[in-house]
């Protein structure tokens, strides 16, 4: 309708200007010559011209935007009704009637609905007849009768033409408006689409830049776990190229030690359609190194089905190393480098579960460094620390790396020997004594190293706890330590205050 209003406003300007000029021409030239008996026509014409000027000027103000049709109807009514009045007043002049017929014909082509046009025609007829009745012009001449007949024909013709031209008169403007509006809408839609495409390209460019420059690994897979996309960070961390990764099974790059756990974890997410999960696992690089990843994984759903995964992973290798170092510090005796009590109980508990499950036998040795108090009091605490470290070295040389060796605190040590029989204790005892003898054979020693040991046997047929094993071995160790003190008190060549023990007595053992 905006277009229709603008077109109507243009027509209104033209008709207002034409009407204003016509009224002035009639008022100053034709009316005085044709009807000098009606001098008031000049003032009336001037008034109508002023109205036309006001209407013409009003079309240039923005406030009437969208009011073009209404103003055009007002202009049409103004012309039709004023002409009807003046023509009725001087109906004895055929030239005025001819002018009125012209206005009637012009009104047919105005962009107004047929019902409005018919109403205007009916009102103009009433005004025309009323003016004749009021002013009573002489209408008995042949020319006037002829003009009146033509006026009737003009009204009938205008009515018929208005009906026939309805779709061309008003609908044409609407159709033209619709076409114009459709073109505008199409251009607007094209512009919007171009803007959306440009925004999409910008968004994709920003996304691509973020993905390519991200320090985290970004990876996508299909529903079978085959890799479909990896960003440059993934190539940098793993050492593989895009060709070596894309299209390959994701699990193939997981470290073999954790492959089953990773498969089980993500299989559960796949089946249950868990939206977001977090999992830490090791990846195997192209060089065969282990790289730990902390990975947030989201499922890709399509039509309610899991179509794949997309994940963001961070390299946790250094973090894992720090964790391992912190853990090692928390379970390691700082002086000797052996496990501390906490580490021993934790690792021994794990070995006990394995032994129960696989029916393996174990030996637990509980040892005590003899005469540590005498060394600290007589030779100083630094020498006492060296004695503790020397005892730790003896244990390290005696036991295997698969065995769990620890300093429980003070002068107490423990060792858990796995995959052995009860008879293996004699071999271990001999190896331990050999290491002690090697230390004592060194020159310029201030004392000889002496260690009291008790041993308990874990029988898988008769399981027990680690605490029970320690308590049993501790009891036997105490008995051996007491026997050493008795030997010292009875010795003739040894001073009671000097701990010297060259040959340790046989190490007792027990079975729980």
At 425-475, the pLDDT tens digits run 889 999 999 999 999 998 888 888 999 999 999 999 899 999 999 999 999
**78 — pLDDT class (breaks 50, 70, 90):** confident
Residues 302 and 388 in one domain: no
Q: How far apart are CA 167 and CA 174, in angstroms?
A: 9
Q: Is residue 467 part of a domain?
A: yes
- Of 110-119, 211-220, 498-507, which range is least confident? 498-507
**322 — pLDDT class (breaks 50, 70, 90):** confident
**Does position 21 have pLDDT exceeding 90, yes or no?**
no
**Does position 329 have pLDDT exceeding 70, yes or no?**
yes
Average confidence score pLDDT of the chain: 81
Residues 337 and 277 in one domain: no
Per-residue model confidence (pLDDT) at position 436: 93
SS (H, E, C) 41-85: HHHHHHHHHHHHHHHHHHCCCHHHCCCHHHHHHHHHHHHHHHHHH
**Does position 7 have pLDDT exceeding 60, yes or no?**
no
**Per-residue pLDDT tens over the stretch 172-193:** 656 666 777 788 888 888 888 8
**77 — pLDDT class (breaks 50, 70, 90):** confident
Helix, coil or strand: residue 451: strand
Tokens of 448: 């000889």
Per-residue model confidence (pLDDT) at position 440: 92
**502 — pLDDT class (breaks 50, 70, 90):** very low
Choose between 330 and 164: higher pLDDT.
330
**Does position 65 have pLDDT exceeding 60, yes or no?**
no
Choose between 289 and 12: higher pLDDT.
289
**Does position 509 have pLDDT exceeding 60, yes or no?**
no
Q: What is the mean pLDDT of residues 297-302?
A: 88
Residues 17 and 82 in one domain: yes
CB neighbour class for 367 (10 Å; exposed up to 12, middle 13-18, buried from 19): buried
Helix, coil or strand: residue 106: helix
Residue ending a domain, choose from 169, 200, 231: 169
Q: Is residue 183 part of a domain?
A: no
Tally of structural domains, the chain: 3
Most confident range (mean pLDDT) of 8-12, 108-112, 163-167, 335-339 is: 335-339
Residues 118 and 84 in one domain: yes
**Does position 104 have pLDDT exceeding 50, yes or no?**
yes
- Among 291, 290, 267, 266, residue whose Cα is nearest residue 279: 266
Q: Is residue 187 part of a domain?
A: no
**200 — pLDDT class (breaks 50, 70, 90):** confident
Per-residue model confidence (pLDDT) at position 111: 63
Q: What's the Cα-to-Cα distance from 338 to each of 277, 390, 403, 405, 418, rounded to whole Å? A: 38, 12, 12, 6, 17
**Does position 505 have pLDDT exceeding 50, yes or no?**
no
Residues 226 and 352 in one domain: no
Tokens of 295: 């990975």
Residues 373 and 245 in one domain: no
Choose between 267 and 468: higher pLDDT.
468
- Of 246-250, 276-280, 489-493, which range is least confident? 489-493
Per-residue model confidence (pLDDT) at position 338: 94
Per-residue model confidence (pLDDT) at position 491: 41
Listed as own residue / partner, the contacts of 430-435 with beta carbons closer than 8 Å and 24 or more positions apart are 431/398, 432/394, 432/395, 432/398, 432/507, 433/504, 435/394, 435/397, 435/398
Q: Residue count of the chain, please give it.
A: 512
The CATH code of the domain that includes 303 is: 3.30.450.20
Per-residue model confidence (pLDDT) at position 452: 93
Q: Is residue 186 part of a domain?
A: no
Residue ending a domain, choose from 142, 169, 196: 169
- Of 59-73, 349-363, 422-436, which range is least confident? 59-73
CB neighbour class for 84 (10 Å; exposed up to 12, middle 13-18, buried from 19): buried
Q: State percent of the chain over pLDDT 90.
A: 28
Q: Is residue 491 part of a domain?
A: yes
Q: Is residue 487 part of a domain?
A: yes
Q: Any residues with CB less than 8 A from the CB of 250 and at least 6 apart, and which? A: 219, 221, 225, 226, 227
**Does position 215 have pLDDT exceeding 70, yes or no?**
yes
Residues 298 and 348 in one domain: no
**492 — pLDDT class (breaks 50, 70, 90):** very low
Residues 20 and 159 in one domain: yes
Residue ending a domain, choose from 116, 149, 169: 169
Residues 306 and 448 in one domain: no
Q: What radius of gyration, in Å, describes the C-alpha atoms of the chain?
A: 57
Residues 299 and 357 in one domain: no
Per-residue model confidence (pLDDT) at position 493: 31
**266 — pLDDT class (breaks 50, 70, 90):** confident
Helix, coil or strand: residue 334: coil
Q: Which domain does 79 fall in, by range?
A: 2-169
Tokens of 415: 């060792």
Q: How far apart are CA 401 and CA 354, in angstroms?
A: 17
Q: Is residue 209 part of a domain?
A: no
**Does position 157 have pLDDT exceeding 50, yes or no?**
yes
Residues 110 and 257 in one domain: no
Q: Is residue 192 part of a domain?
A: no
Residues 483 and 342 in one domain: yes
**143 — pLDDT class (breaks 50, 70, 90):** confident
């Amino acid at each position: 309708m905006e277009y229709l209003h603008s077109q109507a406003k243009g027509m209104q300007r033209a008709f207002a200007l034409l009407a204003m000029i016509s009224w002035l021409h009639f008022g100053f030239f034709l009316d005085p010559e044709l009807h000098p008996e009606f001098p008031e026509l000049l003032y009336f014409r001037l008034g109508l011209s002023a109205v036309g000027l006001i209407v013409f000027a009003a079309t240039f103000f923005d406030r009437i935007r969208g009011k073009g049709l209404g103003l055009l109807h007002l202009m049409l009514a103004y012309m039709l009704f004023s002409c009807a009045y003046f023509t009725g007043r001087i109906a004895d002049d055929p030239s005025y009637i001819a002018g009125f017929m012209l206005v009637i014909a012009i009104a047919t082509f105005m962009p107004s609905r047929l019902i409005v046009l018919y109403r205007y025609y009916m009102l103009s007829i009433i005004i025309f007849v009323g003016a004749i009745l009021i002013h009573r012009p002489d209408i008995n001449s042949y020319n006037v009768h002829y003009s009146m007949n033509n006026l009737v024909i003009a009204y009938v013709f205008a009515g018929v033409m208005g009906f026939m031209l309805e779709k061309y008169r008003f609908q044409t403007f609407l159709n033209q408006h619709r076409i114009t509006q459709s073109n505008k809408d199409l251009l607007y839609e094209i512009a919007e689409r171009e803007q959306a495409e440009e925004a999409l390209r910008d968004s994709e460019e920003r996304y691509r830049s973020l993905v390519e420059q991200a320090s985290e690994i970004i990876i996508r897979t299909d529903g079978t776990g085959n890799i479909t996309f990896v960003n440059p960070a993934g190539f940098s961390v793993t050492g593989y190229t895009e060709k070596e990764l894309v299209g390959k099974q994701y699990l193939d790059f997981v470290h073999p030690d954790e492959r089953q756990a990773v498969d089980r974890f993500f299989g559960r997410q796949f089946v249950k359609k868990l939206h977001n999960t977090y999992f830490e696992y090791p990846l195997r690089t192209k060089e065969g190194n282990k790289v730990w990843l902390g990975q947030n994984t989201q499922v890709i759903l399509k039509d309610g089905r899991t179509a794949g995964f997309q994940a963001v992973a961070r390299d946790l290798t250094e973090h894992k190393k720090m964790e391992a170092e912190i853990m090692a510090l928390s379970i390691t005796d700082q002086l000797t480098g052996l496990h501390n009590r906490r580490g021993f109980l934790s690792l021994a508990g794990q070995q006990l579960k394995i032994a129960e499950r696989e029916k393996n036998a174990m030996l637990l040795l509980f040892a005590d460094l003899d005469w540590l108090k005498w060394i600290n009091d007589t030779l100083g605490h630094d020498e006492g620390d060296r004695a503790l470290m020397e005892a730790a070295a003896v244990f390290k040389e005696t036991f295997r790396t698969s065995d769990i060796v620890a300093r429980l605190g003070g002068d107490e040590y423990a060792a858990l020997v796995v995959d052995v029989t009860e008879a293996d204790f004699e071999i271990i005892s001999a190896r331990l004594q050999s290491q002690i003898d090697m230390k004592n054979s060194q020159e310029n020693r201030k004392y000889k190293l002496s260690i009291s040991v008790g041993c308990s046997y874990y029988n898988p047929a008769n399981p027990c706890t680690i605490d029970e094993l320690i308590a049993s071995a501790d009891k036997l160790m105490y008995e051996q330590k007491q026997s050493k003190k008795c030997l010292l008190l009875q010795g003739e060549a040894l001073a009671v205050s000097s701990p010297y023990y060259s040959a340790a007595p046989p190490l007792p053992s027990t079975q729980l």
